[in-house]
Each structure stands twice: as C-alpha cells, then as structure tokens.
Amino acid sequence: MSATATAAVQEPVKKDSVPEIIAASMVGTAIEFYDNYCYSIAAASYFGMIFFTSVAKSNPALATLMAFVTFAVSFLARPFGSMLFGHFGDKMGRKKTLVIALMTMGIATFLVGCLPGYDQIGPWSVVILCICRACQGVGLAGEWSGAALVATENAPADKRALYGSFPNLGAPIGFFCAYGLNLLLESNLSQEQMIAFGWRIPFLCSAVLVIIGLYVRARMSETPVFRKAHTEKRTSKHPLRDLLPYWKEVLLGTVAMGITYTLFYVLGTWSLSYGVKGLKFSQSDYLLMQMCSVVFFAIFIVVSCVYADKVGRKKVLFVVTAGTLVFSFFTPLLLVHSAAHIMIFLCVGFVLMGGLFGPCGAYLPELFPVHVRYSGAGLSYNLAAIFGGAFAPTIAQALVSSKFGVAGVGWYMAIMAALALLALFLIKESKDKDYEL
C-alpha cells in the first residue's frame, strides 16, 4: 500500500456536529415538502380555473380532477430522478448530488410561479406546467434519499432511526410553512386576487428557502461512511447495475411504504378539496385545521423513531400500518360537516402518518449496502410515491364522485394498508450493512 493510501486510511474520520447534520438533512426535505404542499394546495383550489379554464366554466369538479392529474406528473418523473441522482450519489458522494438536486427542485418550483395561465397562452400553459412539474419530480427524487443518508451515515448505531427522523421532520416544517403562508394569503386577499396573482406568491417565495438550503449544503461534509467506503474502494462504478441483485428489497420496500404516501395525500391534498367543495368549509378554516393537526405529525415522527431504535423498525411499521388499516374503516364516519369530526380525522391520520414516515428514514437505507444505498433507498421511496401517492387525490376524487362515495376512499386506504402489511411480512428484517466506521 502506498504512503498516500496508508495516510488516507489512518486519517481520523471527520464528522459534522449534530446541529450541522440536522440542518443539512432537514433543510432540503423541508423545501421538498413545501414545494409539494404549495402545488397540492394550488391544484386543489386554483389550477382548475387557471389552467383548465374552459372546462372549469362548465364542470368545476372535472377541472379539479384534471389539475390533480398534473399533480401526478412529478411522481411519474421520480424514478428517472432516482436513477440519475442515485447513480451519482453512490458513485461521487452524497454532498455534491444533494446540492444539484436542491437546485433542480428549486428552479422548477420558482418557474411554476412565473407561468402564464390558459387565458394567456391556451393549452401551452398546461404543457409548460407539466414540464416544470416533471423537473420538480426529478429534483425531488434525489433529495430525500440523500438527506436520509446524510443523517443515518453520521449516526451512532443505537440512534440511527432517531437521526433518520431529521430529514423526515422537514415534512411537517414544509407543511406548516406552505399552509401557513397560504392561510395568510387567503385571510388577506380575495378569491379573485388569489386567482389573479396570490397563488404565485408561495412558489416565488421558495427561492428564499433554496438559497438558505444551498448555503447549508455547501458547508456540510461528505458522510464518513461514504468516505471510508471510497477510501477502501468499495463504492460502485455502475450503481444501477449493481442494484439488480436487490430487486426484491426495492419491490417490497416500495409496497411497504406505499400506504405512507396514500395516507399523506388523502389527508393533505384531497381532503382540502373535499372539505371546501364537498363539505362547504371555508378554505381558511380547513387550512387552519390542517395546520393544527400537523403538529401531531411532527411529534409522532420522533416518537416512532425512538421506539424503532428500541424494538426495531419493522415492528413499529407493522403496528402503525395495522392501525392505519383500522382507521380506514372509520373514514366515512369522520368526513362530515363537523369541525370536531374533521379534527379527529386529521389528527389521528397525522399521528399514523408520523408513525409510518418516521422510521422509513432508517428502514429503507438499511435494506441496502453502501455501494448501492443511495440508488436503492431512493428508488424504493420514489416508486412508493407513484404507487401510493401520485394518483391518490385523483382516485379519491373519482371514488367520491362515483356510487362508492366517501366509503370508497376508506376502502382504497384499507387496500393500500393491507398490501403494505403483506410486504412488511415478506421483507427480511433490516440489517446493518456497511455502517461501521
């Protein structure tokens, strides 16, 4: 071994401080979910009238359904983003890849806020919207998996799930920022002003968050686990090819996490549209109820991760998924014009959402060794986004408009939860692979 190589091996492994790890892993995920929430609110409330104007004049429900379809475009682009950023994340490192993913995501979101509507350029407005949404999806695909690795590959072995909660806590922070800003705008602007220009403001404001995120990401160090693997020449030149033997982990991880996305976008996106247009709550009132309930989301991300470190990720996910299956059958009883019933629906739903989303930050990365971890965890996570979330608002809206009504939404959630339970049963318990320094 050369002197240079020996020095590299013996060189102490530098770790970022815990606050630096929290900031670097959480900031991008917060922006990711802020972007998605802003889009989901706009799709549920305004995009039908702005980008499908001719349809909205005769059939507002169909226009909303079409707006939800554009919402799905981002998810369909995610697997391509996973393969792209996973390749470079496993080959070149987590840090550089995360910076590029954040820039891709941020630029696309800002451009959505600049788009002309149907009245200005006709159908081209929808085409450009879908292109921006696809670029959002590509950037988003590289974000979560890299952020999860920044956290877990810096974590002590007995606190890996807790550290894995750091990027996931970005979700309620992004939710709170997006819904809070929209609530502020709704409270101070008329409906006509929101349609004319107010809906653009949250998208344009994302530029501030992206600048902060880039500053934080530029200062962070490469993870010590990846640096050690790189020094020992255990990284992959062809991560996607090397991921092929782990196809079962990718498939089962996708199905196991599908209910997480289904629950999430039924609670956060579809229920907003149904609550305002179907149950006749005001937009501001429903946004406020969602903001209050998301506190439970944040709390139970941490609670579930603490237990996941004590008893195992799989056990926690199995119990919470079973709880989600039971909750699904109460959905029709709770989705009525009653603030108390809606608060129970949202609060219990977000408790379960926190319990599902929290442990996945450690669970999915631990299914894969270091040389394909970015690719494997990212592909599972983003395929789950398609499988469980991409069409969740559209499916829920279509079911409510059919003979099944709100009961159909409950059965839809129950089926997704049952499939997740089956996948968790079949998948092997997560093991520590190449985490030791």
**Res 415: pLDDT:** 97
Cβ neighbourhood burial of 272 (10 Å; 0-12, 13-18, 19+): buried
Has residue 432 been placed in a domain?
no
Task: Give the pLDDT confidence score for residue 10 in this predicted structure.
Answer: 45
The mean predicted confidence, pLDDT, of the chain is: 88
Rg of the chain on CA atoms, in Å = 21
Segment 96-111 shows an average pLDDT of 89
The identity of residue 128, as a single letter, is I
Q: Which tokens go with 176?
A: 């709170």
Q: What is the pLDDT of residue 431?
A: 56
In this prediction the pTM is 0.84
DSSP tally for the chain: helices H, then strands E: 23, 0
Query: Does residue 221 lie within any of the structural domains?
Result: no
In a domain, 293, yes or no: yes
Is residue 12 over pLDDT 80?
no
Distance CA 185, CA 236 (A): 48
**pLDDT in the model for residue 435:** 64
Q: What residues contact 128, with CB distance under 8 A and at least 6 apart?
A: 115, 121
* Mean pLDDT of all residues in 318-330: 97
Helix (H), strand (E) at residue 185: helix 170-188
Residue 123 has pLDDT above 80, yes or no: yes
Q: Is residue 36 part of a domain?
A: yes
Mean pLDDT value across residues 40-49: 87
In a domain, 231, yes or no: no
DSSP assignment of 262-296: HHHHIIIIIHHHIIIIIS---HHHHHHHHHHHHHH
pLDDT at 5 over 50: no
Residue type, 52: F
Structural domain contains residue 6: no
Is the pLDDT reported for residue 4 higher than 50? Answer: no
| Residue 267: predicted pLDDT | 93
CATH no. for residue 333?
A: 1.20.1250.20
Lowest average pLDDT, out of 19-33, 117-131, 237-251, goes to 19-33
Domain extent for 258: 17-215+238-426
Q: What is the C-alpha to C-alpha distance for residues 219 and 353, in angstroms, rounded to an integer?
A: 32
Q: CA dihedral defined by 103, 105, 108, 111, rounded to 10 degrees? A: -70
Instruction: Determine contact, residues 53/119, Cβ cutoff 8 Å.
Output: yes
Domain tally for the chain? 1
Q: What is the pLDDT of residue 215?
A: 87
| Rounded-to-integer distance, Cα 86 and Cα 71, Å | 23
Angle CA 392–297–389, to nearest 5:
15
Number of other residues whose CB lies within 10 A of the CB of residue 120: 10
The residue ranking higher by pLDDT, 279 or 140, is 279
Concatenated DSSP letters for 365-388?
Answer: GGGS-GGGHHHHHHHHHHHHIIII
For residue 402, pLDDT over 60 is answered with yes
Q: Is residue 5 part of a domain?
A: no
Residue 322 or 148, more confident: 322
- Average pLDDT for 38-56: 88
Q: Is residue 202 part of a domain?
A: yes
Distances (CA, A) of 293 to 268, 277, 290, 301, 317: 10, 20, 5, 13, 21
Q: Give, in order, the Cα–Cα distances in Å from 332 to each of 30, 122, 329.
A: 31, 39, 7
For the stretch 162-187, pLDDT in tens is 999 999 998 899 888 998 998 899 88
pLDDT tier for residue 285 given thresholds of 50, 70 and 90: very high
Q: What is the mean pLDDT of residues 83-93?
A: 87
Residue 22 has pLDDT above 90, yes or no: no
Within 59-169, where are the H helices? 60-91, 94-112, 118-121, 124-152, 160-168
